[in-house]
Structures are given as C-alpha cells and as structure tokens.
Amino acid sequence: MSTTLLNDFHNSSCTVRATVDVDSDGCQTLGLTKSQWRRVNRELCGMDDCDCGVVRGEDNPHCIAIDGGDTIYR
C-alpha cells in the first residue's frame, strides 16, 4: 500500500510502499525497511542538525516500525 508521510515544519512529503497495520484502537503502524526509512529522512528533512522530528503532522501514522526492531512513535 502506498502511504504519504508528511513534515509540516518543512512542508515536505514522501510517498512509500509499506505495510500498514491498524489495531483495535485505530492506531496505525507503518512497516518500513531501513532503506525506506533513510529515504523518508532524506526527503522530509535531510539535515543532521535539525530538530523537526522528520515525520510531523496530524495525518501521519501513529507508529513507524523499522526492520531490525526499531519502532518510532509520534
């Protein structure tokens, strides 16, 4: 499934193909590979010294799970 992630601080977006799981409470978890996560970081922000949080905005998934065990929560 194609999902668009947003960064409302930089007004940028990135579309990726990923698995999306929704639990019984409606919390969305987006599953990304490590290379997809690097691409999302580069396209949404790309600056090492920025504190924007990369994925920002109300329309983003609640949780992002990266292959290898890391899970990022908003």
Domain tally, the chain: 1
39 closest CA partner among 11, 66, 70, 72: 66
Give this prediction's pTM.
Answer: 0.76
CA dihedral angle for residue 26, residue 21, residue 11, residue 72, rounded to 10 degrees: 100
Cβ atoms within 10 Å of 40's Cβ, excluding its own: 23
**C-alpha dihedral sign at 31, 36, 40, 46:** positive
What's the pLDDT tens digit per position in 12-65? 999 999 888 887 777 778 888 889 988 988 998 988 898 887 787 777 666 777
> What range defines the domain where residue 56 resides?
2-73
